[in-house]
């Protein structure tokens, strides 16, 4: 069996989740990686060097300068016949493109898998991770998106061959206009190793500066509960939870967050959870590795001072 | 412009999910059900277009059991003009949902379809993209802003690390992300008015669509359980534990 991984990249480098996707693919068979881009040689070489990758297919053309699902899909369909499985990382790129490919292959996609049982059977979280389903596919070709945090990253090893393939044309349905990437010295929530989040207990948006000071020491991202977003303290892109971002950092510090189900669903796979809350009955303490029952307005500045020691 | 939105009836987002002891799924009996939160955003966007005069008709579609009509009524109370209910008691996978929706699109010819980016039960995040593929339409997924532009539409999308702006031809499929709008609550007079709005009911067979599942769920289990840890007495103790016991900070 040969497995195709469709890489998410910015032409010069692969996105981190591609490495984890290659590991998931290696459990299924020989791995080929498709790099569609413009001047994407550096990304192709990086993919070719990953352990487990047997071949890299590179489609270098103007139409692939930006990863539009409408243009990538015909390219994938032009080579799909050679593969038993087509895997994409569950990044916004993968989530956007995979179902378009799956529908045209008449196959029911498996989203966000967290485990490979065998060639037809996979584990995936449902209900925001509150249940894990084991699902078997009867389709001849499987289209799958892979939850990066559930698999180890493939490491560099021997280099595989890079083979150029032809582009498949632009259907002309959509056009890229621009990107506005969040300019912040802090990492983005879904990629951060440490996250410090505030809830309704923060009382105002201005008080989030307390969390930002700690975040800057730890190289952490700042998040928020839905209650904090609904109260207007911070904008929606801070939201961690079932209807916000699902995160699994090494360390998650929940400050003034009671632990509503919808918030826990977004962060309970974090490796270490710290809760700071003045209400000792708060449900967040039932899942926290370390709990501190204290007023956040004294505890957080004290935390900042202690970390600076 | 004619706009079609799709709404799914799911377990309310505030309900704690309980996995059935026979591992066949999650408990849905006597559990509060609501409209999928991302679909509420889709309906709100359609209603705002209707109010702004950009849209002259807004249709709300749901696929599911008899009670899915309640979800359609909610959309009608928010401001949709009429409903379509494809009634089935079977679990319908996203590919089949997309095929059923395509059959409706072939009959209704909307100019724009707005759906939630994912349902919070199966978390698939597939239907909008699949429907766009089957129709050979563009897809503007994870939208946080929509503006009509010459002969098409400009959409700001939530991507990892920021925002992306694209321009798509019409007709198109849009899937909603959180920041697109804040859905309204239906007022009591509008809830009363919604009871008189028409809902057209049909079955998958009426549309000639095969909805047999492609996936078999072998089991559904609880995720690995997290045990409560320790209560620390001070910030000093907390930092010491994080540095020397958990080793997650340096």
Residue A31 token pair: 């791995």
pLDDT category, B23, cuts 50, 70, 90? very high
| pLDDT at site B160 | 85
Beta carbons of A180 and B126 less than 8 Å apart? no
The helix (H) or strand (E) run that includes residue B2 is strand B2-6
Q: Which of residues 27-86 of B touch A (CB under 8 A)?
A: 37-38
Is residue B12 classed exposed, middle or buried when 0-12, 13-18 and 19+ CB atoms within 10 A define those classes?
Answer: middle
Task: Look at residue B135 and tell me whether its pLDDT is greater than 90.
Answer: yes
pLDDT category, B115, cuts 50, 70, 90? very high
pLDDT digits (tens, 9 = 90+) for A172-228: 999 999 998 876 778 888 888 999 999 999 999 999 999 999 999 999 999 999 999
Residue A35's nearest CA partner among A27, A157, B140, A22 is A22
Is residue A57 classed exposed, middle or buried when 0-12, 13-18 and 19+ CB atoms within 10 A define those classes?
Answer: buried
Low-confidence residues of chain A: pLDDT under 50: none
| pLDDT at site B14 | 86
Q: Which of residues 129-168 of B touch A (CB under 8 A)?
A: 129-134, 136-142, 154, 157-168
Nearest Cα residue in chain B from A106: B95
Q: What percent of chain B has pLDDT over 90?
A: 91
| pLDDT at site B227 | 82
| Pairs across A and B, CB distance < 8 A | 253
* Interface ipTM: 0.95
CA atoms of B205 and B211, how far apart (whole Å): 9
Q: Which of residues 167-186 of B touch A (CB under 8 A)?
A: 167-169, 178-179
- Cis amide linkage into residue B171, ω under 30° from 0: yes
pLDDT digits (tens, 9 = 90+) for B47-96: 999 999 999 999 999 999 999 999 999 999 999 999 999 999 999 999 99
Q: Rounded mean pLDDT of chain B?
A: 96
| pLDDT at site A128 | 87
Residue partners of B172: CB distance under 8 A and separation at least 6? B112, B113, B132, B137, B138, B139, B140, B152, B153
| pLDDT at site A83 | 98
Residue partners of B224: CB distance under 8 A and separation at least 6? none
Q: Lowest-pLDDT range, A181-185, B126-130, B154-158?
A: A181-185
Q: End-to-end CA distance of chain A: give it in Å, rounded.
A: 55
CA atoms of A197 and A220, how far apart (whole Å): 10
pLDDT digits (tens, 9 = 90+) for B220-250: 999 888 888 999 999 999 999 999 999 999 8
| pLDDT at site B49 | 98
pLDDT category, B208, cuts 50, 70, 90? very high
Beta carbons of A127 and B123 less than 8 Å apart? yes
């Amino acid at each position: 069996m040969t497995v195709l991984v469709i890489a998410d990249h910015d032409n010069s480098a692969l996105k981190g989740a591609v490495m984890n996707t290659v590991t998931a693919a290696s459990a299924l068979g020989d791995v080929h990686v498709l790099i569609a881009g413009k001047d994407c040689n550096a990304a192709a070489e990086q993919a070719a060097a990953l352990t487990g990758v047997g071949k890299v297919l590179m489609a270098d053309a103007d139409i692939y300068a930006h990863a539009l699902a409408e243009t990538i899909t015909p390219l994938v369909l032009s080579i799909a016949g050679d593969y038993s499985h087509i895997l994409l990382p569950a990044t916004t790129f993968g989530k956007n493109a995979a179902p378009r490919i799956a529908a045209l292959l008449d196959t029911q996609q498996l989203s966000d898998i967290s485990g490979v049982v065998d060639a037809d059977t996979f584990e995936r979280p449902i209900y925001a991770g509150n249940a894990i389903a084991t699902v078997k596919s009867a389709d001849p070709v499987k289209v799958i998106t892979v939850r990066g945090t559930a698999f180890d990253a493939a490491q560099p090893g021997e280099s595989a061959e890079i083979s150029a393939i032809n582009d498949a044309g632009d259907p002309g349905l959509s056009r890229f206009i621009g990107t506005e990437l969040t300019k912040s010295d802090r990492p983005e929530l879904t990629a951060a190793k440490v996250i410090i989040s505030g809830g309704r207990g923060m009382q105002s948006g201005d008080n989030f500066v307390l969390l930002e000071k700690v975040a800057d020491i730890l190289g952490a991202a700042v998040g928020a509960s839905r209650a904090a977003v609904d109260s207007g303290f911070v904008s929606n892109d801070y939201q961690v939870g079932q209807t916000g971002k699902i995160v699994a950092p090494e360390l998650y510090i929940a400050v003034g967050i009671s632990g509503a189900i919808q918030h826990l669903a977004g962060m309970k796979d974090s490796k270490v959870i710290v809760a700071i809350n003045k209400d000792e009955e708060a449900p967040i303490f039932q899942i926290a590795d370390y709990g501190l029952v204290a007023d956040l307005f004294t505890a957080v500045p004290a935390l900042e001072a202690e970390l600076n020691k | 412009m004619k706009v079609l939105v799709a709404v799914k009836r799911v377990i309310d987002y505030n309900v704690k999910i309980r996995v059935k002891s026979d591992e066949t799924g999650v408990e849905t009996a006597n559990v509060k059900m609501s409209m999928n939160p991302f679909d509420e955003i889709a309906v709100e966007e359609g209603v705002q277009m209707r109010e702004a005069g950009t849209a002259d008709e807004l249709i709300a579609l749901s696929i599911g059991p008899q009670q899915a009509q309640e979800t359609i009524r909610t959309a009608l109370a928010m401001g949709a003009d009429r409903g379509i209910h494809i009634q089935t008691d079977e679990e319908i996978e996203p590919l089949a949902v997309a095929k059923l929706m395509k059959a409706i699109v072939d009959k209704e010819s909307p100019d724009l379809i707005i759906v939630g980016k994912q349902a919070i039960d199966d978390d698939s995040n597939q239907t909008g993209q699949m429907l766009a593929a089957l129709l050979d339409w563009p897809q503007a997924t994870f939208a946080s802003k929509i503006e009509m532009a010459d002969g098409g539409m400009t959409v700001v999308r939530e991507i990892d690390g920021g925002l992306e702006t694209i321009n798509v031809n019409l007709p198109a499929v849009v899937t909603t992300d959180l920041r697109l709008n804040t859905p309204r609550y239906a007022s009591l007079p509008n809830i009363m008015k919604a009871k008189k709005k028409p809902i057209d009911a049909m079955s998958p067979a009426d549309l000639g669509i095969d909805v047999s599942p492609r996936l078999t769920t072998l089991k559904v289990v609880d995720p690995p359980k997290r045990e409560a840890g320790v209560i620390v007495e001070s910030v000093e103790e907390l930092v010491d534990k994080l540095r020397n016991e958990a080793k997650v900070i340096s």
